[in-house]
Structure 1
Amino acid sequence: MAHVCTKAWVHGRVQGVGFRYSTQHEAKRQGLTGYARNLDDGSVEVLACGEAESVNRLIEWLKAGGPRSARVDRVLTEPCQPDREWDDFSIRY
């Protein structure tokens, strides 16, 4: 399996509803590294690195709406090369 990194921007009601924590939980369940962080425009940025199939499962989970308290309107993704190696999936501030 190939090791890939994908950056996603999740738009909708995704701040103040536990979205980053739920994303962290799901990413760790999939064995991924990276981060989730709130952006000033109200969206959440997610960097997910790991096996391609696991990254795709996380992206599908994001598109499906994440936690019940959130409302996801759209998810934009692009492959990326991270500026460093991540050893865990963290919440960035």
Structure 2
Amino acid sequence: MAIARAMVTRPAVLFADEPTGALDSGSARTVLGLLREMVDSAGQTIVMVTHDPVAAARADAVVFLSDGRIVDRAIRPSAREVADRLARLEG
């Protein structure tokens, strides 16, 4: 419902906190597709927080945080690249 409201009101910046966290894989793909479409067709800015490498890979840019600090960045990374960087952060 929150995504539907955001699509209708079209705020300048949409903040999405783990938007696919509680969804099955099919619903998660749908939500990520809607968010991507909002960026591509409407030019909307979306800031998404996620631990999911597949979701992060849909972004134009990914910022990696550790203990509240930016420790790495990536431009249009693959899900594998995101997962590898996350694994290095935990190691």
| TM-score computed with the length of structure 1 as normaliser | 0.30
Compare the two structures and name the one with the higher strand fraction. 1
In our comparison, the structure showing a higher alpha carbon Rg is 2
